[in-house]
Amino acid sequence: MALAQHRGKLFIISGPSGAGKGTICKALLDRNDIEISVSMTTRSPREGEVHGVSYYFSTREEFEKTIAEGGFLEYADVFGNYYGTPKAMVVEKLEQGRDVILEIDVQGALNAKKVYPESVLIFILPPSLTELRARIEGRGTETADVINLRLSKALEEMSYMENYDYFVVNDNLEEAVVRTEAIMIAEHGRIVKDEIKAMLDKYKEEV
């Protein structure tokens, strides 16, 4: 018996810069049949980042035009640059029953939750602020000024955790990925009132 086709689930992952969100998302994508939304940003590409894969890199003018056209599910100003989630792909994939992950900042996550109240918010924490600094410095992609700006924002961002559904401490990477996967699996077993009727109708067809 095939259960009714449900809408996909929207998982939103946030946490301070350097906590390991990108690393965890990449592992999730490699190991699971899910979609990760590619954001648009006005920040400059880092070495090795590919347009259309890491981000859609845009000018401020292009970004503001997309805002005016209503093309974003959410957007925010983060560390002085615009970042936004293009709406069309996310809506299309969810309608197709595919799970979608957004890796976005805390302001964007709360705005997305208003649009999709059923979305699941997961907060990634570093094991300590000392380790967070070591990871950002070790990544080697930001200048000292940018690193200090990002670190100074970390505690403020962590205070948004009270609005989230789950947290995962990224100490050992493999354990953090498994814990995130466990959350995603558990969420697929959550009872969604609007979907119960369709599920029971399938059983009734056999009576």
> Under the rule (CB under 6 A), what is the footprint of ligand ADP?
15, 17-23, 135, 138-139, 170, 173
User: Which one of ligand 5GP, ligand ADP, none interacts with residue 85, CB within 5 to 8 A by kind?
Assistant: ligand 5GP
- Non-local CB neighbours of 193 within 8 Å, separated by 6+ positions: none
Phi, psi of 77 (to 5 degrees): -95, 115
How near is the Cβ of 104 to ligand 5GP at its closest, in Å?
A: 4
Half-sphere exposure of 198 (CA within 13 A, CB side): 11
Which C-beta is closer to ligand 5GP: that of 90 or that of 184? 90
Options 90, 108, 113, 132; binder of ligand 5GP; rule CB under 6 A: 108
Which C-beta is closer to ligand ADP: that of 91 or that of 161? 161
Which C-beta is closer to ligand ADP: that of 17 or that of 66? 17
Residues numbered 45 to 104 that lie near ligand 5GP (CB under 6 A) are: 74-76, 78, 83-85, 103-104
User: Which one of ligand 5GP, ligand ADP, none interacts with residue 76, CB within 5 to 8 A by kind?
Assistant: ligand 5GP
Q: Is position 17 an interface residue for ligand 5GP (rule: CB under 6 A)?
A: yes
Q: 3-class DSSP state for residue 46?
A: coil
DSSP characters for 91-137?
HHHHHTT--EEEE--HHHHHHHHHH-TT-EEEEEE-S-HHHHHHHHH
Half-sphere exposure of 36 (CA within 13 A, CB side): 20
If you ran DSSP here, which 8-state letter would residue 8 be given?
Answer: P
Q: Which residues of the chain form contacts with ligand 5GP (CB under 6 A)?
A: 17, 21, 39, 43, 74-76, 78, 83-85, 103-105, 107-108
